[in-house]
């Protein structure tokens, strides 16, 4: 069966410090991978998605970057965190082989990031 | 533009039915989804409906789709306290890689 791991679960970082959040998927190959941010009272904002190793699409201009060094590994990074980067970050995957446009996403448990 | 809208809060009594409503904008969407998020956790798929269907029933859950009005609803029969969570409506845009989520409806179930 497929599983998705996301860590750490909670992170408190000072403004200006770097960030690295990691997400790995097991039990599937060639997944589509996603990073979302969830702010309080707001929906999920898609930050990045990837359809293959080294292929990253950015949805919004921001202080963050993403990388996919391996097929089932997705990393969210920042060189210098801002206060506005605080939020709940969710990684998700979906299967490459699926019915047309059926993009069921499977989510990790999330990382709550507080930038102080 | 791409947008999914839903009300932010709903409060019901235990045993009553809950109806969560959603409107979407992309007429090319072929699949629409309902996800559930429990406190401090990721989202889990509850159910989905293909755009050529009007209704889908799965145990206590009933999804109704009105393509003309771009309106999607989720009905939970016999709502239990364990149903308290945030429910997200979502649509996959034509092309299939991007899924747009609403802001989520927080369901409170009173005992």
- Both tokens of A52, joined, read 């293959």
The reported pLDDT for the residue numbered A75 is 97
b/e sequence A61-86, b meaning 16+ C-beta within 10 Å = eeebebbbeeebebbbebeebeeebb
A104 CB neighbours in chain B (<8 A) are 33, 45, 48
Task: Please answer yes or no on whether B97 and A49 come within 8 Å at the CB atom.
Answer: yes
Q: What is the mean pLDDT of chain A?
A: 91
Task: Please answer yes or no on whether B42 and A90 come within 8 Å at the CB atom.
Answer: yes
The phi, psi pair for A85, rounded to 5°, reads -80, -10
d(CA A66, CA A75): 5
Q: Is B53 or A97 the better-scoring residue by pLDDT? A: B53
pLDDT digit string, tens, across residues A16-68 = 999 999 999 999 989 999 999 998 767 788 999 999 999 999 887 778 999 99
The reported pLDDT for the residue numbered B81 is 95
pLDDT in 10s for each residue of chain B, 111 residues: 568 999 889 999 999 999 999 999 877 777 899 999 998 889 999 999 988 889 999 999 999 999 889 999 999 999 999 999 999 999 887 666 778 899 999 999 998
Q: Is A51 on the interface with B (CB under 8 A)?
A: yes
The reported pLDDT for the residue numbered B1 is 52
The reported pLDDT for the residue numbered B22 is 95
């Amino acid at each position: 069966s497929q599983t998705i791991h996301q860590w750490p679960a909670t992170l408190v970082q000072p403004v200006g410090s770097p960030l690295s959040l990691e997400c790995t998927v097991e039990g599937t190959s060639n997944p589509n991978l996603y990073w979302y941010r969830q702010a309080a009272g707001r929906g999920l904002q898609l930050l990045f998605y990837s359809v293959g190793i080294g292929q990253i699409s950015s949805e919004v201009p921001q202080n963050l970057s993403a990388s996919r060094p391996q097929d089932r590994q997705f990393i969210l990074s920042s060189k210098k965190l801002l206060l506005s980067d605080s939020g709940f970050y969710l990684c998700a995957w979906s299967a490459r082989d699926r019915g047309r446009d059926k993009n069921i996403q499977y989510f990790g448990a999330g990382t709550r990031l507080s930038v102080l | 533009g791409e947008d999914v809208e839903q009300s932010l809060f709903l409060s019901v009594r235990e045993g009553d039915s809950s109806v969560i409503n959603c409107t979407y904008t992309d007429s090319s969407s072929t699949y629409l989804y309902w996800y559930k998020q429990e406190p401090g956790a990721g989202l889990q798929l509850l159910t989905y409906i293909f755009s050529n269907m009007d209704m889908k029933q799965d145990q206590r859950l009933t999804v109704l789709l009105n393509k003309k009005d771009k309106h999607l609803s989720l009905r939970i029969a016999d709502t239990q306290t364990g149903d308290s969570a945030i429910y997200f409506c979502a649509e996959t845009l034509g092309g299939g890689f991007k899924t747009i989520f609403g802001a989520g409806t927080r369901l409170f179930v009173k005992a």
